[in-house]
Structure 1
Amino acid sequence: MNERYLSVVQVAELLGTTVRFPRRLVEERRITYVKVGRHVRIPESAVQAFISANTIEPRRRRLGVVA
C-alpha cells in the first residue's frame, strides 16, 4: 500500500489546470478520491487512469485517400 495521495492543488498542477477542474471531477465523481476528514485526496493511480482513459490517439491517414 505505497499509494501516493495528492491534494486537489497537486492534481491541478500535474494536469496543468486550475484547481476548479479536479474539484469538478470529484464533485461529478469522474475520478476516484478519498475523504480524510474534510480533506479530499486523490490517488496518483486514479489520476494516471483518468489521463489514460481520456487520451485520444491521432488518426492514421489511409493511403490513397484524398481528403
Structure 2
Amino acid sequence: MDNYVQFSRLWTVEDVSEFLGVPVSTLYQWRTKGYGPAGRRVGKYIRYRPQDVSAWVDQLSDEVA
C-alpha cells in the first residue's frame, strides 16, 4: 500500500477575496488585526488552505449586524 499525502492547491489572497466576496485590502486589514481565516507565509506571499477558509466561514455567527 502506498502512503502519501494528497495536497490541494493553496489559495492566494485573490482567491480568498473572490471566495468571500471582500476586497483584497480587507483581507490584509483583517490579518493585521488577527481576524479572518488563517493564512501562512510562503516566502514573501500569504497563502491559505481552502479547508482553513471554509472552517473559518463555518465558525462565523449566523447573526447579521
CA RMSD between the two structures: 2.0
In structure 2, do the counterparts of structure 1 residues 26 and 4 end up closer, same or farther at CA, with 3 Å as the change threshold?
A: farther
Corresponding letter in the other structure for 1:52: D
Select between 31-40 and 41-50 the one with higher mean Cα deviation. 31-40
Select between 15-24 and 43-52 the one with higher mean Cα deviation. 15-24
Tell me the equivalent position of 1:42: 48
| CA-CA distance at 1:4 after TM superposition | 2.7
Kindly name which structure, 1 or 2, has the bigger radius of gyration based on alpha carbons: 1
Q: Moved runs in structure 1, 4+ residues, more than 2 A? A: 24-31
Sequence identity (%): 23
- TM-score w.r.t. length of structure 1: 0.69
- TM-score w.r.t. length of structure 2: 0.71
Aligned residue pair count: 58
Select 2:57's aligned residue among 38, 51, 59.
51
Q: Distance in 1 between matches of 2:48 and 2:57?
A: 13
Q: Distance in 2 between matches of 1:46 and 1:2?
A: 13
